[in-house]
Amino acid sequence: MKNRFLTTLTAVSFFFVFQASAQNILDKGEEQVKLFNAQQRLNAQDFRSALNIYKELEKTRANDAYIEYKMGECYLGLMEIQSAIEFFEKGKKHNPKADPEQPLNLGRAYHINSEIDKAMKEFEAYKTTIATNKKKLKESQVEYYLAQCGVAKTLMAKPVDAKVTNMGTSINSEYDDKRPSLTADGKTFIFTSRRPEGQTKVDKEGDNKYFEDIYMSNWDDTKKAWADAEQIPGAINTESHDAACSISPDGKQIFIYKNEVDGESKGGDIYVSKKSSTGKWQTPKKLGVPVNTTYFEDGACLSPDGNTLYFVSENPKGALGMADVWKSTRATKTEWGKPVNLGAPVNTSEDEGGIFLAADGKTLFFSSAGPKSMGMHDMFMSKLEGSKWSEPVNLGYPINTVKEDKSFILSTDGRFAYVTSNRDGGLGDDDIYVVDLSNISIDGKPKTNAPSLSILKGKVLNPDGQGIAAVEVNIYDDAGKKVGNTASNTEGEYFITMQGNRKYEIRISQKGFKDFTLSFDLPAGKDETFTLVKDVLLSAK
């Protein structure tokens, strides 16, 4: 997906590639070549190489405002914010007019550093200088940044009652750790990491970091903690990018993002790996059309009943932005129907991503970089009300920050959430944080005594005790209303989450077998999600 910040920064640099001569910096010869090469690297977002050249020039151009400004630009691109602010402020002190874009980018640095008032002051100053140039005003996106600053001030002034804690070294490392996913029973945790284990090369065509691999951790009931994460067992990870989209609620499938097949880079497709009887994960298989296209697809997650797939795509047909949230309904046990764009208000002209569907099957979480975020990407929530999605709600501070907050998942019982962020105080670039929601519901309202969700699972068996695939399992409440349905997998297993402390009835009508009904009570757990196993033995007609 596109990066609004880096795109803007590069565009600004490009438009002012000759600014140095205007500021009487370019003299001639070797120095001119260095300045040109540095700008070329900056345009290509090779910030480290550009910075090294500007550092050489600084040795002979001490207190030169233009060189200091360009170094600040490089540090901003590298997200080394304290250094960016230092050099932007130096440049401003030595010559506030060294570059007309200086207040815009100094404002960006202050914004990312949570110095909101200072950021807004710089943005307003920049607006004043370009007030008569409507085209430039639009291209600079200064109004967008000011809108985000306003959101940040509002949300930081009224934080939600949630405690956000780094998950620590059992999950996080000094490298990128991100994209968490959790089974419905809360026992299995997977995520994506860019640590060097199992890797022999870096992504030279990208950011020179190690390639992504998928890691797994299991909950230790004795220690009440997550075990040290290890590479997921089986045939999932390769030497290219293998990123976790999600693990299915029953823990039997993992959806994976891959962008390289047979050594050839692609736009990115969704794959699925299934868990074998030995506990290892099988070689991922591409979902194929119509979910995957020639465009970028990522972020797949399955509804609790297994019948709807939500995912992110850059397919422009019917899109509102570059990356939108789409859904596809199961057509057969192996095929998906034609994708449908979720439309507004979930999708906007900005990028949407980082999607997660809660265990109720009606609450969608996703990231957006729009003007309603505090800065960069924030996590939002929308609920399915009838056939329409509600106006998205920002999850608030400190769940969101002015930094990148790009993925969010919620435990089945709603007590904990997990978020990916590069906020201050992490162990690496991106870390995964646990959010304690003991005092609030995720919509920011006080906790209520709403029924907890429980898990109902089992096997549909034939008279010989063998599992039957693709059997529709319908769930009715005690008033006779259909409240859920799912289908058995290839081994005959079914899985669904339902509200606990209620009476239900399973009804099955399967060709070749007698109709089946079973009434039962589904309890709710106190300290963890309750799981009820109900096997179904069908009788032949």
Q: Looking at the structure, do residues 480 and 427 belong to the same domain, yes or no?
A: no
Q: Report the CATH number at residue 125.
A: 1.25.40.10
Q: Does the global pTM surpass 0.75?
A: yes
Q: Report the CATH number at residue 530.
A: 2.60.40.10
Q: Is residue 443 part of a domain?
A: no
What is the structure's pLDDT at 350? Answer: 85
With CA atoms as reference, report the closest residue to 48 among 207, 180, 239, 203.
207
pLDDT digit string (tens) for 298-355? 999 998 888 899 999 999 998 998 899 999 998 887 889 999 999 999 999 888 999 9
pLDDT digit string (tens) for 48-92? 999 999 999 999 998 999 999 999 999 999 999 999 999 999 999
Q: Which residue has the tokens 């298989």?
A: 285
* Rounded (10°) angle between helices 102-112 and 4-15: 160
Rounded distance between C-alpha atoms, residue 528 and residue 416, angstroms:
11
Q: Looking at the structure, do residues 361 and 241 belong to the same domain, yes or no?
A: yes
Three-state secondary structure of 107-120: HHHHHHCCCHHHHH
Q: Looking at the structure, do residues 229 and 336 belong to the same domain, yes or no?
A: yes
Domain's final residue, options 436, 469, 503: 436
Domain that holds residue 99: 4-157
Q: Tell me which of 227 and 22 has the higher pLDDT.
A: 227
* One-letter identity of residue 253: Q
Rounded distance between C-alpha atoms, residue 332 and residue 228, angstroms:
38
Q: Is residue 258 part of a domain?
A: yes
The length of the chain in residues reads 541
* One-letter identity of residue 436: D
What is the structure's pLDDT at 237? Answer: 95
- What is the percent of the chain with per-residue pLDDT over 90, rounded to a whole number? 74
Two tokens, residue 116: 């909101």
Q: Looking at the structure, do residues 330 and 312 belong to the same domain, yes or no?
A: yes
The domain tally of the chain equals 3
Q: Report the CATH number at residue 297.
A: 2.120.10.30
Q: Is residue 134 part of a domain?
A: yes
Q: Residues near 279 by Cβ (< 8 Å), separated by ≥ 6?
A: 233
Instruction: Read off the pLDDT band of 172 (50, 70, 90).
Output: very high
Q: Is residue 65 part of a domain?
A: yes
Q: Looking at the structure, do residues 145 and 241 belong to the same domain, yes or no?
A: no
Q: Looking at the structure, do residues 298 and 388 belong to the same domain, yes or no?
A: yes
pLDDT at 522 over 60: yes
What is the structure's pLDDT at 285? Answer: 94
Rounded distance between C-alpha atoms, residue 305 and residue 485, angstroms:
6
Q: Looking at the structure, do residues 425 and 472 belong to the same domain, yes or no?
A: no
Burial status of residue 153 (CB atoms within 10 A of its CB: 0-12, 13-18, 19 or more): middle
Contact yes or no for 161/440 (Cβ under 8 A): yes
What is the structure's pLDDT at 121? Answer: 98
Q: Residues near 371 by Cβ (< 8 Å), separated by ≥ 6?
A: 144, 147, 148, 151
Q: Looking at the structure, do residues 176 and 242 belong to the same domain, yes or no?
A: yes
What is the structure's pLDDT at 304? Answer: 82
Taking the mean position of all CA atoms in its chain, how far away is CA 337? 24
What is the structure's pLDDT at 440? Answer: 84
pLDDT at 18 over 60: no
Two tokens, residue 491: 């081994």
Contact yes or no for 530/499 (Cβ under 8 A): no
Rounded distance between C-alpha atoms, residue 71 and residue 88, angstroms:
8
Q: What do you get for the CA distance between the two ends of the chain, in Å? A: 54
Q: Is residue 86 part of a domain?
A: yes
What is the structure's pLDDT at 286? Answer: 93
Q: Residues near 277 by Cβ (< 8 Å), separated by ≥ 6?
A: none
Q: Looking at the structure, do residues 477 and 431 belong to the same domain, yes or no?
A: no
What is the structure's pLDDT at 305? Answer: 80
Domain's final residue, options 157, 187, 213: 157
Q: Looking at the structure, do residues 336 and 412 belong to the same domain, yes or no?
A: yes
Q: Tell me which of 217 and 369 has the higher pLDDT.
A: 217
Q: Is residue 446 part of a domain?
A: no
pLDDT digit string (tens) for 441-483? 876 556 665 568 999 999 999 999 999 998 999 999 999 999 9
Average pLDDT, the chain: 90
Q: Looking at the structure, do residues 198 and 152 belong to the same domain, yes or no?
A: no
Backbone angles phi, psi at 364, to 5 degrees: -110, 130
Q: Is residue 496 part of a domain?
A: yes
Domain's final residue, options 116, 134, 157: 157
Q: Is residue 125 part of a domain?
A: yes
Q: Looking at the structure, do residues 229 and 312 belong to the same domain, yes or no?
A: yes
Instruction: Read off the pLDDT band of 27 (50, 70, 90).
Output: very low
Q: Residues near 417 by Cβ (< 8 Å), separated by ≥ 6?
A: 399, 408, 409, 410, 411, 434, 435, 437, 442
What is the structure's pLDDT at 451? Answer: 63
* One-letter identity of residue 405: D
What is the structure's pLDDT at 421? Answer: 97
Instruction: Give 197-206 contacts, CB < 8 A, sequence gap 24+.
Output: 197/231, 198/231, 198/237, 199/239, 200/239, 201/239, 203/241, 205/265
